[in-house]
Amino acid sequence: MIMHKELPIISPDKFHDECAVFGIYGHEEAANLTYLGLYALQHRGQEASGIVSGDGDQFYIQKGMGLVADIYNKTTLEKLPGRMAIGHNRYSTAGGNDLKNVQPFNVNFAFGNLALAHNGNLINAQVLRNELEAYGAIFQSTSDTEVIIHLIAHSRASTFLARVMDALNQVRGAFSLVLMTDNGLIAVRDPHGLRPLCLGRVRGSWVVASETCAFDLLDAEYIREIEPGELVVLSDQGIDSHRPFPKVDPAMCVFEYVYFARPDSRIYGANAVYSTRKALGRRLAKESWVDADIVIPVPDSGVPAALGYSEGGGIPFETGLIRNHYVGRTFIEPEQSIRHFGVKVKLNAVPEVLTGKRVVVVDDSLVRGTTSRKIVKMLRNAGAKEVHMRISSPPIVSPCFYGIDTPTKKELIASNHSTEEIRKYITADSLAYLSLDGMLQSAPGVPAQYCNACFTEKYPIAFTRAEEMQLGLFGPSADVKKVM
Amino acid sequence: MIMHKELPIISPDKFHDECAVFGIYGHEEAANLTYLGLYALQHRGQEASGIVSGDGDQFYIQKGMGLVADIYNKTTLEKLPGRMAIGHNRYSTAGGNDLKNVQPFNVNFAFGNLALAHNGNLINAQVLRNELEAYGAIFQSTSDTEVIIHLIAHSRASTFLARVMDALNQVRGAFSLVLMTDNGLIAVRDPHGLRPLCLGRVRGSWVVASETCAFDLLDAEYIREIEPGELVVLSDQGIDSHRPFPKVDPAMCVFEYVYFARPDSRIYGANAVYSTRKALGRRLAKESWVDADIVIPVPDSGVPAALGYSEGGGIPFETGLIRNHYVGRTFIEPEQSIRHFGVKVKLNAVPEVLTGKRVVVVDDSLVRGTTSRKIVKMLRNAGAKEVHMRISSPPIVSPCFYGIDTPTKKELIASNHSTEEIRKYITADSLAYLSLDGMLQSAPGVPAQYCNACFTEKYPIAFTRAEEMQLGLFGPSADVKKVM
Amino acid sequence: MIMHKELPIISPDKFHDECAVFGIYGHEEAANLTYLGLYALQHRGQEASGIVSGDGDQFYIQKGMGLVADIYNKTTLEKLPGRMAIGHNRYSTAGGNDLKNVQPFNVNFAFGNLALAHNGNLINAQVLRNELEAYGAIFQSTSDTEVIIHLIAHSRASTFLARVMDALNQVRGAFSLVLMTDNGLIAVRDPHGLRPLCLGRVRGSWVVASETCAFDLLDAEYIREIEPGELVVLSDQGIDSHRPFPKVDPAMCVFEYVYFARPDSRIYGANAVYSTRKALGRRLAKESWVDADIVIPVPDSGVPAALGYSEGGGIPFETGLIRNHYVGRTFIEPEQSIRHFGVKVKLNAVPEVLTGKRVVVVDDSLVRGTTSRKIVKMLRNAGAKEVHMRISSPPIVSPCFYGIDTPTKKELIASNHSTEEIRKYITADSLAYLSLDGMLQSAPGVPAQYCNACFTEKYPIAFTRAEEMQLGLFGPSADVKKVM
Amino acid sequence: MIMHKELPIISPDKFHDECAVFGIYGHEEAANLTYLGLYALQHRGQEASGIVSGDGDQFYIQKGMGLVADIYNKTTLEKLPGRMAIGHNRYSTAGGNDLKNVQPFNVNFAFGNLALAHNGNLINAQVLRNELEAYGAIFQSTSDTEVIIHLIAHSRASTFLARVMDALNQVRGAFSLVLMTDNGLIAVRDPHGLRPLCLGRVRGSWVVASETCAFDLLDAEYIREIEPGELVVLSDQGIDSHRPFPKVDPAMCVFEYVYFARPDSRIYGANAVYSTRKALGRRLAKESWVDADIVIPVPDSGVPAALGYSEGGGIPFETGLIRNHYVGRTFIEPEQSIRHFGVKVKLNAVPEVLTGKRVVVVDDSLVRGTTSRKIVKMLRNAGAKEVHMRISSPPIVSPCFYGIDTPTKKELIASNHSTEEIRKYITADSLAYLSLDGMLQSAPGVPAQYCNACFTEKYPIAFTRAEEMQLGLFGPSADVKKVM
């Protein structure tokens, strides 16, 4: 009997954004537009999705595992009435088909209905959970996000809004949050603004979304970003902005520019994802030019940086790798060993482009190196004479604790190997990363406004000793298990 | 109550290949490799798929509606034992969820088990079916392909192979066929070679596939194409080639080079899909250059031609349209009218690339014009100053009857409008098609070897008067309904 | 790891009727009433069901595995328009979830649409199938019923009706058939009338059904039985009766009275299922009275005979075995050995009824003896002092080839063991069967009109030598594999 | 287009038990035996079922809507490892497919894992819920049972057992509960013992179940009942019995004898369900004899009382109504009006038994009268000359608040009509109920030990004024909505 191995298809050699959030208040088709918004934000989370709508009286819920286009249909959307809705895409639900961790979370408690969608990750969730459980709280999920709900329920503040502010001042970490009650929406971004959150308007209704590509599909107008530390209430009284947190320096994730955000999106107030990526490529060409015949991207994310490299370096751009877009969630690997199988399922080389050529191949980041190694070999098999790998961001040396799915420090090849060692491992003729300065100067605004912890280990939020132990940052095995 | 409109997502403004076929003989993991082959050929048919395997004694069948990656899994593949298998992807099954039209067809008849997968379309299927039914034949499906099976069953030739040859000499049209019996495989291509079919080898086993990208994923070696009019038997006796048909001139579909085939595939014996597409773009730049700031493709199929235009025309290449690859089968359209909705679900413009620019946008073909019209408007909304549409193939004036899903003649905008009329309709500043000569001279080999009926109405296979009536080529309403 | 054994729940120790058929012509709610009819006939087949309706133009089909109440619902019934419909329940589809063997069969052939539902079994199906395949016929299923369709399609008679008669004169065996064309229904019963078929009327429309309990649920009026050898056409021209077969003696299945038919049904023209069963019990008391405290039935089928035995024998009737009616298709058996598990899932003894009692337990038939053995032990465990098994039919010595699912001859305990041997095996204090004469004289009408082959091996239809070999009636291992 | 009405099939004219509970501690096949136990207890709840198993470290959960035999299979049972398990069948989950109300409930809180299965109903659940929510508790379900979990989590007692006792002393109502922690099981019955709960042993392991029929299928030995007000801990330390409640008089549900319990079960310590039902019938014959030809039961529940009536009254017992046991959850009613349709789907009359007869028909209870009315008419249609309805329990005048699903007071026909009025409504020739004294004296033990509130409105647990308002016992519309 032949045994079949199931192969997960989501690339293990990229960082992954944890989530997308979306909210809309005051629109006849609230759930429909939320569906469209989540669809446009699919790249931020492909494992599960949920929508909760409200009609002022009741909440209505639809959730599922998989892609937005597969989860929702006429029947499910018609079960989501009401003029407000929030939605969430999730990258990963540890433990498979478990719907109980799929957001938005929604509960009925003393103040009525509450639903909540969260992009980010809390540093002190476990400590808070232990305390809450000691007071009799019963948790439904294993998600850190649920802590926020119990903090609200246990708060002794008198109004709902005050309770939310009370709760959020107890948590530390990254949060771009959308909450829904029977009366309206609350959108809030953590004091550092680690993850993006945007505000828009469509036909007199308010919308919030992780990125503006969600607004484009809706014909919504971009208004502005929700600022770091800002809390906004959307209701029949219009929009009301609050600043419930002590003021701190911004520390916005620079990786959104490097890889996460869609190139047609506007984030952090600037219209610059695509041009920043090209600028990273141009700068990379300046920092580490090599004499070659063609520049090719690792599709799709490497395309803008490769175009930038081609422009900056004066080397023709080609598409030497073709991507198969019909990829499912898992893939059956045959017993017969097939060279570079995992990569081949997604990419195939074009021999007529590559044969006899000196090739610069541009990728946005290099995490473990396993995929890069397969790509280099695949290019050589297809006839490339030389293969020069160029990475449009600096070496990644430490994990993210702010809502990005990253491997442990040990698995980050650059945390314990020199660039030359990595070059040998991936079998390239040459390898170069963009410098930290090069990256930060290519991004819009001032370098200081960005979090660059994954490249520098300089985390913008101080850890307590307990958290350091728990996250494995110190102690005998100073490493970290995947945060969630 | 809000009503939701379901929107089919497969582009109504492209021709669509009907099918992919695959076969393998003599491999321990026959079904697994067929699954991989069908996966690599997914672009030729996304509506349904089937695999039949055989162990010399019994046939085993798995079929489903949807994508290869969704239909097959560990469980279904383990139900497909045996050292031979054939598979089929299908573009469209008229009438929804009807598995009875999903190929491979398989039957048990006087000669034992028989399965059959067909890429192409028969001109005289209806006439033959009527005759067979008059003799007592009972059809299971509405597919023209089933006619072949009944012709084999009713043939009075003494051997199975002679019956197959007898049957295939009665049908007229396009067929790249793979048949499986308990003893081996038969692969055959119609005398004109209208559709491609390739032969390869993997670890001592024979494989056949519509395109060589299927071989790459399997680590199979490309041997040669099955030639027009060739019938090949694959069995324990090795490979045996026959020429059962009277000799005619080849008439291979040129549109495979323009759009259908994957750029990393080899078809018609040449390794030239990608370079032909670039050559079409370069020629297009020569024929219809326009002074512009950037050249952008309609992704993904327009990319090589746009690169060719950029090179040939000396205008920078940019990616001004971003494609959303998470598209499902259908999409729910909201009540609220959203500009260019159908296109927006798949494409979004990048304002920072387009604002203030004179833009050449390159597409491979223009069928109805509806999508082009939306794209032009979307580019202008995103800030483009001028929009020049360039098409890397000639105007399409007549439907295909050889296995391609095309609209009726009436719906082909170029069949009854001048280029200037079309330009006005799509609201472009200029519009130009590639000339017929330009296209044929850019393709490998001699121009005469290609079928170009859709551009010229010169069909390589003569119609009988009855077929002309049935296909609507003449008579009071000289038009054609979708062939299958 | 604990392994779970799946236990089929359909009793292996009873004969099982193969099928129920139903048809209706000329009613607005044809499919709905067919659904009700099949529901009422569920006891004749629980493995699969199908309905085909027709509107004079097209046929509409719904089929599924499982119970009528689970297969059909609002949605599926609304997909069955038209004023005529036929339906079928099937006892068993060898090979699991294979819908292709689920009836009604329907095809489109030279004469248009045809659907067919069959209760019974053909003796010469394999021989006919071989001949038809030699002429080029392609079979869709492995069912003997499909032979009839191909015989009709290959007939050279000029009208459809003549072709049906031609076809049915070539088959030998048991058939109560309902056919549907675009113009009406044909109901026909084989010359011996081996299986029942009834005619009724509901609001001016004609209905046919295997048993009249189907009419009761519809508020239909019972008209008469379709007689052995009669063919009836139901159409807009009303009812038209034909006698297409040479006259033979009737041979109606007597087991319908013993066990198969519902006690509230009328079959073979008489209103006597319940009273016949009581009469069998009374006669049994007369033939084999035993001094006991209580008479209990094996529920539910043994109830009327037990009441008859109680009346005839003057011994109080009690319900000492309780039946669990929530039985599913299969049941998971634990590793831990549980006494009499298979029987216990369906039956449980009532200790307060049984303790210290001399018990007569009445069942309608005894096939393998395995269940009886478990029941006897279960009764003793619950406190019974003596257990006397009484069977209200004679010993079964040979299989049925006319549409009843029976074990092989070897598995029929009475075919190779004396009654005393069987008594020892089932560990009863005494065991008695009803005599053949006793049974036949208790049934309505003349004894000669019944088939009693399973009790006597006197088959009413002569076998050819080839059939004998094929059915295993002679030769080295004179036994029989399950017929279908 | 014909519209189809879906008809629920669970009889609206009977009381329904809310639930079954089951638990096992210390057995290798804990989940398997729980599955068997729930299967045997299927009659106490057919809408949903759940099993939670534990291995001392983790809990494993399987739940579903529908019947036990359909919900669980090899795959699901193998996902339930561990040596302890509890299970629950539920009669009704208001609001359809909502798994969140399906028991056992399970949570993870400060003390670790906890699962809970409840048979019964709490009077003061809403009041407690309001209080708990004010303290920050977040409820997952709308079930009153969840209150118990939050009371445990919020208790300030130091041990888990003390917290359970603390919690249960705050609730008022009916509860036969099984709780599971990582260390063992707790089984507890409310002080009045309103619902049954039994203790058994199987191969050295402890089992608890609502009725002993669950023990029979497992080959478990019946030990004794869990007494009213008793709490039992089952763990590796063996069994430990506690009496945490103030002593009150028992008030066990007498309806378990009349209708709910399976006749082969032992409840309340006595082996007497079947014989009690017969005694009720004999007493009924004495109280309200009528000169008739036959006695028939309304099957299946009326059988023992009808046998008792037959014995006591000297009138022959017959089965004049046949029950169809293949009933699904809902049934499609045709447009065409069919007489007595709802009843006919389940019951059909046997004309040959009834024609010309004076018939006594015995049922166990009469709730709304709608079904009785249809049965009387059905019997007359089938030829009965006289129909005398006899009910083996007193008139039902008030709803149950202790875990039985009952209609509102207004819908109970006997609450506002005399027996003569009811007789007229059901169109019987005569109607008689059993007297209250007759019923109580036929049951085992002393009459005072039974709750008879539904016959007398004497509720054993005093209501607060708030509860009376909420339950609708007083005030302007002194009626009650279905409790849960």
What string of DSSP letters covers B440-473?
HHHSSS-GGGEE-HHHH---SSPPPHHHHHHHTS
Q: What gap in Å lies between CA B177 and CA B175, rounded to an integer?
A: 6
- Average of pLDDT values for A417-425? 97
D390 contacts D359 by C-beta, under 8 angstroms? no
Confidence at residue B3, expressed as pLDDT on a 0 to 100 scale: 44
What string of DSSP letters covers B219-235?
TPEEEEEPPTT-EEEEE
CA dihedral for B287, B288, B292, B298, sign (positive or negative): negative
Say how many Å lie between the first and final Cα of chain A, rounded. 37
Q: Which of B66, B74, B32 is nearest to B51 (CA)?
A: B32
User: Does residue B480 register a pLDDT over 90?
Assistant: no
CB contact under 8 A, B150 and C134: no
Give the ipTM of the model, two decimals please: 0.89
Q: Which of B162, B174, B311 is nearest to B250 (CA)?
A: B174
Query: What are the Cα distances from residue D38, in Å, to A352, B427, C389, D100, D403?
Result: 67, 70, 32, 19, 18
Cα-based angle A266, A271, A277 (whole degrees, multiple of 5) = 95
User: Does residue C261 register a pLDDT over 70?
Assistant: yes
Q: Using pLDDT thresholds of 50, 70 and 90, give the confidence band for residue B17.
A: low
Q: What gap in Å lies between CA D207 and CA D199, rounded to an integer?
A: 6
Q: Using pLDDT thresholds of 50, 70 and 90, give the confidence band for residue B140.
A: confident
Is any Cβ of chain B less than 8 angstroms from the Cβ of A66?
no
Residues in C 324-353 with any Cβ partner in D closer than 8 A:
324-332, 334-336, 338-339, 344-345, 348-353
Q: Which amino acid is at D275?
A: S
| Token pair belonging to C380 | 């003793």
CA D184 to chain C, closest CA, distance in angstroms equals 21
Lowest mean pLDDT among A455-469, C95-109, C132-146, C355-369: C95-109
A35, A264, A345 member nearest B348 (Cβ): A264
A201 contacts A207 by C-beta, under 8 angstroms? yes
The CATH classification number of D275-445 equals 3.40.50.2020
- Name the average pLDDT for chain A: 90
For B443-458, how does the pLDDT look when each residue is reduced to its tens digit (9 = 90+)? Answer: 999 999 999 999 999 9
Instruction: Identify whether A57 is preceded by a cis peptide bond (ω within 30 of 0).
Output: no
The DSSP output letter for D409 is G
Query: What are the Cα distances from residue A69, in Å, to A64, B331, D391?
Result: 11, 7, 58
User: What is the number of residues in chain D?
Assistant: 484
Confidence at residue B403, expressed as pLDDT on a 0 to 100 scale: 87
Which of C81-94 are b and which e, b meaning 16 or more Cβ less than 10 Å from the residue's Cβ? bbbbbbbbbbbbbe
For A361-406, how does the pLDDT look when each residue is reduced to its tens digit (9 = 90+)? Answer: 999 999 999 999 999 999 999 999 999 999 999 999 999 999 888 8
Sort out which chain D residues have CB atoms less than 8 A from C324's CB and list them.
Answer: 39-40, 42
C110, C133, C149 member nearest B109 (Cβ): C133
| Token pair belonging to D349 | 């009359």
| Token pair belonging to B317 | 């290449």
CA D111 to chain centre: 32
Is any Cβ of chain D less than 8 angstroms from the Cβ of A139?
yes
User: Does residue A330 register a pLDDT over 80?
Assistant: no
B417 contacts B389 by C-beta, under 8 angstroms? no
Say how many Å lie between the first and final Cα of chain B, rounded. 37
For A111-148, how does the pLDDT look when each residue is reduced to its tens digit (9 = 90+)? Answer: 889 999 999 999 999 899 999 999 899 998 888 899 99
Q: What gap in Å lies between CA C275 and CA D177, rounded to an integer?
A: 49
Helix pair angle (B160-168, B146-154), 10° resolution: 130
Q: What are phi and psi of B291, to 5 degrees?
A: -75, 115
Taking the CB of residue A79, how many other CB atoms lie within 10 A of it? Answer: 13
Taking the CB of residue B463, how many other CB atoms lie within 10 A of it? Answer: 17
Q: Which of C483, C203, A312 is nearest to D335 (CA)?
A: C203
Is any Cβ of chain C less than 8 angstroms from the Cβ of B150?
yes
Element holding C402 (H helix, E strand): none
B353 contacts A277 by C-beta, under 8 angstroms? no
Element holding D227 (H helix, E strand): none
Confidence at residue C8, expressed as pLDDT on a 0 to 100 scale: 52
For C287-296, how does the pLDDT look when each residue is reduced to its tens digit (9 = 90+)? Answer: 999 999 999 9
What string of DSSP letters covers D4-59?
-EEEE-S-TTS-EE-EEEEEEES-TTHHHHHHHHHHHTGGG--SEEEEEEE-SS-E
Superfamily (CATH) of domain D20-250: Aminohydrolase, N-terminal nucleophile (Ntn) domain (3.60.20.10)
Q: What gap in Å lies between CA A278 and CA A310, rounded to an integer?
A: 10
For C380-394, how does the pLDDT look when each residue is reduced to its tens digit (9 = 90+)? Answer: 999 999 999 999 999
For B400-442, how does the pLDDT look when each residue is reduced to its tens digit (9 = 90+)? Answer: 999 888 888 999 999 999 999 999 999 999 999 999 999 999 9
- Average of pLDDT values for A167-174? 96
Confidence at residue B483, expressed as pLDDT on a 0 to 100 scale: 30
Question: What's the per-residue H, E or C state across C57-114?
Answer: CCEEEEEEECCHHHHCCHHHHHCCCCCEEEEEEECCCCCCCCHHHCCCEEEEECCEEE
Sort out which chain C residues have CB atoms less than 8 A from B154's CB and list them.
Answer: 136
> Are there at least 3 beta-carbon pairs closer than 8 Å between D and A?
yes
Percentage of chain A surpassing pLDDT 70? 92
3-state DSSP call for residue B318? coil
Say how many Å lie between the first and final Cα of chain D, rounded. 37
Element holding A229 (H helix, E strand): none
User: Does residue A94 register a pLDDT over 90?
Assistant: no
Q: What gap in Å lies between CA C167 and CA C154, rounded to an integer?
A: 9
As annotated, the binding site of A for [4Fe-4S] cluster includes 253, 400, 451, 454
User: Does residue A462 register a pLDDT over 80?
Assistant: yes
Query: What are the Cα distances from residue C153, in Å, to B62, B99, C159, D243?
Result: 30, 24, 11, 81
CA C331 to chain D, closest CA, distance in angstroms equals 7
Sort out which chain D residues have CB atoms less than 8 A from C46's CB and list them.
Answer: 326
Q: Which amino acid is at B392?
A: S
Q: What is the largest CA-CA distance in chain B?
A: 73
Helix pair angle (A370-381, A419-426), 10° resolution: 50
Confidence at residue D104, expressed as pLDDT on a 0 to 100 scale: 95
CA dihedral for B113, B115, B121, B126, sign (positive or negative): positive
Please identify which residue in the block is written with the tokens 């959303």.
B324
Q: What gap in Å lies between CA C364 and CA D346, rounded to an integer?
A: 23
- Average of pLDDT values for B16-44? 93
For chain D, which residues score pLDDT lower than 50? 1-4, 93-96, 475-484
pTM beyond 0.95, yes or no: no
Lowest mean pLDDT among B103-107, C325-329, D258-262, D363-367: C325-329
CB contact under 8 A, A136 and D135: yes
CA C130 to chain B, closest CA, distance in angstroms equals 8
Taking the CB of residue C318, how many other CB atoms lie within 10 A of it? Answer: 23
Q: What gap in Å lies between CA C154 and CA C447, rounded to an integer?
A: 40
CA B283 to chain centre: 24
In chain D, domain spans:
20-250, 275-445
Confidence at residue C17, expressed as pLDDT on a 0 to 100 scale: 64
- Average of pLDDT values for A91-119? 80
B205 contacts B199 by C-beta, under 8 angstroms? no
Q: What gap in Å lies between CA A400 and CA B424, rounded to an integer?
A: 53
Element holding C42 (H helix, E strand): none
CB contact under 8 A, C217 and D327: no
Q: What gap in Å lies between CA D156 and CA A316, rounded to an integer?
A: 74
User: Does residue A258 register a pLDDT over 60?
Assistant: yes
Confidence at residue A476, expressed as pLDDT on a 0 to 100 scale: 41
| Token pair belonging to A250 | 């911004």
- Name the average pLDDT for chain C: 90
Q: Which of B14, B62, B91, B54 is nearest to B366 (CA)?
A: B14
- Which residues contact residue D419 at a Cβ distance below 8 angstroms, ignoring those fewer than 6 apart? D395, D431, D432, D433
Please identify which residue in the block is written with the tokens 């009873």.
C14
Is any Cβ of chain B less than 8 angstroms from the Cβ of C150?
yes
For C201-216, how does the pLDDT look when each residue is reduced to its tens digit (9 = 90+)? Answer: 999 999 999 999 999 9
Neighbours, chain A (3 or more CB pairs < 8 A): B, D
C180 contacts C115 by C-beta, under 8 angstroms? yes
Confidence at residue B404, expressed as pLDDT on a 0 to 100 scale: 87
Q: Which of A80, A83, A324 to mutate to test the interface with B (most CBs of B within 10 A)?
A: A324
D135, D149, D155 member nearest A138 (Cβ): D149
Q: Which of D349, D345, D342 is nearest to D327 (CA)?
A: D345
Q: Using pLDDT thresholds of 50, 70 and 90, give the confidence band for residue B473.
A: low
Say how many Å lie between the first and final Cα of chain C, rounded. 37
Confidence at residue B358, expressed as pLDDT on a 0 to 100 scale: 98
Confidence at residue D109, expressed as pLDDT on a 0 to 100 scale: 85
- Name the average pLDDT for chain B: 90
- Which residues contact residue D459 at a Cβ distance below 8 angstroms, ignoring those fewer than 6 apart? D401, D453
CB contact under 8 A, A109 and D137: yes
- Average of pLDDT values for B462-468? 82
Please identify which residue in the block is written with the tokens 């670890």.
B203
Confidence at residue C3, expressed as pLDDT on a 0 to 100 scale: 44
Q: Using pLDDT thresholds of 50, 70 and 90, give the confidence band for residue C478.
A: very low
Which range, A260-264, B141-145, C263-267, D21-25, has the best average confidence (pLDDT)? D21-25
The DSSP output letter for C442 is H
Q: What gap in Å lies between CA D178 and CA D231, rounded to an integer?
A: 10
| Token pair belonging to D288 | 């309200």
Q: Using pLDDT thresholds of 50, 70 and 90, give the confidence band for residue A335.
A: confident
